[in-house]
Amino acid sequence: MPPPSVLFVCLGNICRSPLAEAALRAAAKRAGAGLLIDSAGTGDWHLGHAPDRRAQAVAARAGIDISALRARQVAAEDFRRFDHIVAMDRQNLADLRRIAPPDGRARLSLLLDHVPGRAGQSVADPYFGEAAGFEATWRDVTAGTQALLRLLLGPD
């Protein structure tokens, strides 16, 4: 049976979704869990770009190097390839629902839906703010990915 698969999605795939990808990769590694993990954006402005330098810095402070990641756009095949497509905010979730092909199998959710008491909340987009916004985003994606990992691994 193939490992569970998760695609994280934000707008440009240079801030929130690569941070979520990195957080889940690190959590899965610590748990010894084999998962297929990726990230993408609904927009195409940053295709092929590395994550924002502020996102790289906040990940590096957690001991994670995301400099090799490159932005890509969500494709129809992603809805067939991944078990879960997890949006960072309500607008991207709505966009994913709109573009999902009829034969897609991925379950769509918001990342913070997986955190008790945070269902329906968005991970704030730190792109136009200061470095402190990236710290808040890191805290949110870490909480969300840890909760998602518990869901994926099931009861002990």
DSSP code for 1: -
Q: Is 15 a catalytic residue?
A: no
Annotated active-site residue in 15, 16, 38, 78: 16
Strands 84-87 and 36-41: unpaired
How far apart are alpha carbons 108 and 94 in whole angstroms? Answer: 10
Annotated active-site residue in 10, 38, 54, 140: 10
Q: Is 10 a catalytic residue?
A: yes
Q: Is 16 a catalytic residue?
A: yes
Per-residue tokens: 112 = 């913070």
Judge contact between 28 and 149, C-beta under 8 A: yes
DSSP 10-70: ESSSSSHHHHHHHHHHHHHHHHT---EEEEEESS-TTTTPPPPHHHHHHHHHTT---TT--
In the sheet with 107-110, reading across from the earlier edge strand, the strands are 36-41, 5-10, 84-87, 107-110
Annotated active-site residue in 38, 52, 78, 125: 125
Q: Could you list the active site residues?
A: 10, 16, 125
